[in-house]
Amino acid sequence: MSKSRIRELFSDSLVYGLSSVVARFINYLLVPFYTLYFDPAEYGIIGLIYAAIVFLNVIYTFGMESAYIRYAGQKAEDAKRVFVTAQIALLGVATALGALLYWLGGPFILPLMSLDFDGGASLFGMMLIILWLDALGIVPYAHLRIIRKSFTYAIIKLVNVVINVGLNLYLVISLGWGLEAILISNIIASGAALLMLMAVTLPMYKAAPDLAVLKTALVFGLPYVPNGIGFAINEVLDRFFLVRLSPEQLASIYGTPYTGEEITGIYNACYKLAVFMLLTVQMFRLAWQPFFMRYSTDKDSPKMFARVFLYFNMVSAAVFIGIGVYAHQIVAIEVPFLGGTIIDSRYWAGLHIVPVLLMAYWFQGWFVNFSAGIFIKEQTIKFPRITLYGAIVTLAGNIFLVPILGMMGSALATLGCYALMSFFAWYYSNQVYPVKYPVKSVIFMMGWASLIVWAGYEFDGFFVNDSLTRVLLLLIGFAGIAAVWFSQKTEN
């Protein structure tokens, strides 16, 4: 029974994953495009704008996605009331918050994104529109996941990305627009996706909102706000530290007269290579939450969850080794028609951070796995505490390491944060929903993968630069993963 259910999880993850892979691949075309048409300082400003979006999105959605999955997923007869209640709440909060931020928040937020009050106000307004549109799409997307309409979910995501990429290329290349083209393209793409989501979830609007449902949803969902803010701190706060490095600090670290905006842009571009691990975690998470809620009461679920954890880490190890060993080769791939590479050579100074960020996202995947028990037992109040610990590590790491190590300091702070968060998620989850996760075997797998990637970086330029040797490193790395799997299979 558990094998068939794991195949079900794999099937859903694959559909979400393929759609995300294709969407990310299409969207990733913007990275060579941006790094070719915008200099590192401009790309740094875009990174800061989207970092602000990540922060504000947590407040705009205030935990309604998780609340809807929790209560609509197990009480199908009440799903429409939960859906309508959540959507009306999101509409009210997003509208009020957007107006408040636009009229009162500009003087405080614009300087954080290295924008002035003349040209930056319009970009700030467009950023708020993106937040409003995305907030209204969060529950319809969650609904499609609950009812397992994964192909519909995938199509809408793909259409969103195609519109976004197409408009970016047209507005910048054909019309010669600047940074505003990026946000306008996002607005139109998000608006189109929202219209499609409303069309496919139209029957769900045929209900009246319920104040009691809203109270229940808020009690469950609001703990996700500090949790989400903690994740936002861990994901994007580093950009705001990097952009404020002084010329003296930058010269001491890099020996080159970079500006803070340029270093932020370089960091932001190289961070994109970690998207492959993030994608692995994302495709798993989208299928994982509805999956463990469906089978949370089954007797064999703890054993099944442990097996899922092992399989997830085998995939993560393969991604880590593949991207880590070939990072320099990947960024140098030429993109047809654009006349540039995956990441322009002006940004390659940050490639040394890639393995560290890949490992950080790997630990984020641990957190997603371990959060199942906390979620099932409705102990979501634990999440703010966990993310607080992670945020402290992120803040301390960026404060103390960035002035000394620059981009590497930010990457190490991110790694330390997610490693600590995964440990506490395991600890708290095991208290309320014990699962015998094969942690020791997976740690060995992590160490083995790190050794392989370290060898690729340490000896680059000597003999490992040869493509055959890189293939051998890849095979040796995969052999270690297979050995862990066989050892676990023997034990079970």
CA distance 195 to 329: 40
Q: Name 14's Cβ contacts closer than 8 Å, sequence gap at least 6.
A: 283
pLDDT of res. 359: 97
Higher-scoring residue by pLDDT: 276, 192:
192
Please state the separation of Cα 108 from the chain's center in Å: 26
Q: Evaluate if residue 14 carries a pLDDT over 80.
A: no
pLDDT of res. 466: 65
Q: Evaluate if residue 52 carries a pLDDT over 70.
A: yes
User: 183: closest CA among 172, 198, 197, 199?
Assistant: 172
CA distance 463 to 180: 46
Q: What is the pLDDT of residues 191-218, one digit of tens each?
A: 999 999 999 999 888 888 888 888 888 8
Q: Evaluate if residue 461 carries a pLDDT over 80.
A: no
Lowest-pLDDT choice from 274-283, 360-369, 424-433, 482-491: 482-491
pLDDT of res. 220: 82
pLDDT of res. 365: 93
Q: Evaluate if residue 28 carries a pLDDT over 90.
A: no
How large is the average pLDDT for residues 70-80? 69
How large is the average pLDDT for residues 458-474? 69
Confidence label for 224 from pLDDT (cuts 50, 70 and 90): confident
Q: With the CA atoms of 385, 390, 396 and 398 taken in that order, what torsion angle do they form, in degrees rounded to the nearest 10?
A: -140
Confidence label for 118 from pLDDT (cuts 50, 70 and 90): low
pLDDT of res. 314: 94
pLDDT of res. 184: 96
pLDDT of res. 1: 45
Share of the chain above pLDDT 90, in %: 38
Residue 336 backbone phi and psi in degrees, to 5? -60, 145
Q: Evaluate if residue 142 carries a pLDDT over 60.
A: yes
Which pair of tokens denotes residue 20? 């995300």
Secondary-structure percent of the chain, ordered helix, strand, coil, rounded to 5: 85, 0, 15
pLDDT of res. 27: 63
Mean pLDDT, the chain, whole residue set: 85
Lowest-pLDDT choice from 192-196, 270-274, 415-419: 270-274
Confidence label for 188 from pLDDT (cuts 50, 70 and 90): very high
pLDDT of res. 329: 87
Please state the separation of Cα 140 from the chain's center in Å: 19
**Hey, what amino acid is at 408?**
M
Higher-scoring residue by pLDDT: 53, 22:
53
Confidence label for 464 from pLDDT (cuts 50, 70 and 90): very low
- Say how many CA atoms lie within 13 Å of 187 toward its Cβ: 12
Which pair of tokens denotes residue 487? 């050892």
Whether the predicted model's global pTM rises above the 0.85 cut: no
Q: Evaluate if residue 468 carries a pLDDT over 80.
A: no
CA dist 328 to 262, 322, 478, Å?
20, 11, 20
Q: What is the pLDDT of residues 341-357, one digit of tens each?
A: 888 888 998 999 999 99
How large is the average pLDDT for residues 90-101? 94
Report which listed range, 116-120, 398-402, 427-431, is most confident.
398-402
CA dist 363 to 224, 252, 367, Å?
19, 31, 6
Lowest-pLDDT choice from 98-107, 163-172, 279-288, 463-472: 463-472
Q: Evaluate if residue 44 carries a pLDDT over 60.
A: yes
Q: Evaluate if residue 323 carries a pLDDT over 60.
A: yes
Q: Evaluate if residue 60 carries a pLDDT over 70.
A: yes
How large is the average pLDDT for residues 216-237? 82
Contact status, residue 286 vs residue 16, Cβ threshold 8 Å: yes
